[in-house]
Chain A
Amino acid sequence: MPIQYYIFFCLTLFSIGVIGVLTRRNAIIVFMCVELMLNAVNLLLVAFSKMHHAAGLKIAATSTAGIDAQIFVFFIMVVAAAEVSVGLAIIVMMFRNTHSIDINFLNRLKN
């Protein structure tokens, strides 16, 4: 499978996430769209790692080229899990204070 197909697919998922962030007002949905973008990038990293691995195997048969990208993806998942727990705690706190999860309430930070 050519790498371009994977890039197109991941770009589509990423753009859907961007559109979600721009068009929805529910804070949880916006947060979920951020997760979607994160996942699209993860998949692209794995696809690039396999492309790199295929090139490395042509040079040496026992090459482990491309393994770093998969470890990066693992660490991205670790950070995403931590990020979601703190982010959802912030959303819950915001809901307790304003009884709404509309992100337009957050513009009071302006004043």
Chain B
Amino acid sequence: MSTLEILFYALSAFAVISAAMVLISKNPIHSVLWLILVFFAISGHYILLNAQFLAIVNIIVYAGAIMVLFLFVIMLMNVKSDNEPQKKLFTKFIGVLSGGSLLTLLIALVKQTVQLEGKEVMMKEGTIGLIHPLGKALFSDYVVPFEISSVLFLSAMVGAVIIGKK
């Protein structure tokens, strides 16, 4: 087994275990911290795929900004973890069952797809994930969506302030 494969399996196992811990932990703050670990594992995957720009953006935006927002909200609300309402055991069982059957169905579907056979993902090399080609494409072909996204941010900011002031 090559180093890349070992890294892939290790990061995948790490991400899946952390994602499961997000659901299992009772305290919402622990859930947020586990989710940050998932995001770091996914950033590791981006680095393995040589998508360096997205790896850094993922850490800054998700693990940095969004998760801090979640932490702030949880700490503002001061939610007690011990009296959190739980769903009925039967409902939980049905939820896990339907999620598991969704996973099984999709995996079976992918396994039979002949179009995907023999397709390799390029790891560790390739230049499209670097900041130079991405920036070129972003500011030539995608400059209009880029500018529209600033309007989206403005409207999100106004919306959050208005909802928060009520």
How big is chain B's contact interface, by range?
A: 35 or more
B95/A81 in contact, CB under 8 A? no
A85/B156 in contact, CB under 8 A? yes
A57/B126 in contact, CB under 8 A? yes
Tell me what chain A mostly uses at the interface: helix, strand, loop, or mixed: helix
A1/B32 in contact, CB under 8 A? no
Tell me what chain B mostly uses at the interface: helix, strand, loop, or mixed: helix
Contact flags B137-166 to A (C-beta < 8 A → 1, else 0): 110001001000100110111011001101
Residues on the B chain within 8 Å of A68, using CB: 137
Residues of A10-27 whose CB lies within 8 A of B: 11-13, 15-20, 22-26
Return 22 A-B CB contacts under 8 Å, by A number. A3-B121, A4-B110, A22-B96, A23-B92, A24-B87, A25-B85, A49-B51, A50-B51, A50-B121, A50-B129, A53-B126, A64-B128, A67-B128, A71-B134, A77-B57, A78-B149, A78-B152, A81-B153, A81-B156, A88-B73, A90-B163, A93-B166
Interface residues of A (CB under 8 A from B): 1-9, 11-13, 15-20, 22-26, 28-29, 31-33, 35-36, 39, 42-43, 46-47, 49-51, 53-55, 57, 64-68, 70-71, 73-75, 77-86, 88-93, 95, 100-102, 104
